Amino acid sequence: MRIFLPLALLVLLAGCQSKPAPAPAPPPVVVTAPAGPVVAPTVPADVLPERTEAALEARDRLLKGGQQHQVLMQSAFRHAPGFTVANWSGLVLSPKDLKQCIVVSSRYKVERVEIHPLTDGRLRVWVEVGNLGDSRIQAEGACEFRPVPEEKGVKFKLLPLLEKQGKIIVSFESERPQMEGYSILIRNRR
């Protein structure tokens, strides 16, 4: 027993000299926001430029043309990636009959079109293009504004890849002000 007492005392002293174990960390506090609908940011009204005479004249020329348009209060593309209010007069025109004003191949579908008269009298056309095919495709598009300068042909630009049954939103701007009409052309990349 004499041997056990010094041994127990030695173990006890050895245990007292070791560092105390750290206290367990408190569980992390998790703050959750109440679930609700996600609201996309809106463009404040004071960001929109004023409706200039040039933009109003561009609107009037387009409304007098052969394509029938309706004036909308707000853009349907407002929350789409890439949408910009730069130089935009705040005016929105939409064709009443998409079938009449747009010709596309059977692989594509144009779901929405908007025309925004810019403050300098030019036009910006927004188009939502859908892929009706069962595979990924590379498209190119153009918007021919009328009257067409005789020395220029239609300039196509490469569009983002269209996934199977996917949609993209693209825009085109006229080079000159006071256009009377437009034609949207979508085709396979050449």
On the question of pLDDT at 24 being above 80, the answer is no
Q: How far apart are CA 108 and CA 143, in angstroms?
A: 15
Q: Give residue 114's pLDDT.
A: 93
Q: Which two tokens stand for residue 90?
A: 């705040």
Work out the burial of residue 99: count CB atoms within 10 Å of its CB; fewer than 13 is exposed, 13-18 middle, 19 or more buried. Answer: exposed
Average pLDDT over residues 140-167: 86
pTM: 0.69
Q: For residue 45, give the 3-state DSSP assignment.
A: helix
Q: How would residue 116 be classed by pLDDT, with cut points 50, 70 and 90? A: very high
